[in-house]
Amino acid sequence: MKSESALLNSRLFVEEGQEIPDAITVRVVGFLEEFTKAVWESLGEGEEKHGNKWLRSSVDYPREAIGAKIDQFFLDGKPINWAGVAGYAMIAWIRVNHPELWEGVNAKNNN
């Protein structure tokens, strides 16, 4: 685990030992480790609850799930679980970049 100082410096455009300016420029990539951990935990909870259901879902499922989360925010004021949304985005990314995962599933279902 990074020290608080190292973590802060990884999020800012400052070098170790440099004074942090009044107007700080924050780096989005500096939050990647923390965000990845949150997504990892969210995906783990989803796997425990749903198993490999995502492999059997429709191609539109990730988009629909993300849309539903955002709709809940605008319609009901329910906070958005961004780590969960990122998990759905990852499923969509896997579908685009690894279609071979569904080739075997589709062949099995057509027999």
pTM score of the predicted model: 0.67
Instruction: Determine if residue 77 is left, alpha or beta; phi over 0 gives left, psi from -120 to 50 gives alpha, anything else beta.
Output: left
- The tens digit of pLDDT for each residue in 82-96 reads 999 999 999 999 999
pLDDT over threshold 60, residue 22: no
Cα–Cα distance, 80 to 47 (Å, whole number):
20
- The tens digit of pLDDT for each residue in 61-80 reads 999 999 999 999 999 988 99
Cα–Cα distance, 27 to 11 (Å, whole number):
5
Q: What residue spans define the domains of the chain?
A: 1-42, 52-111
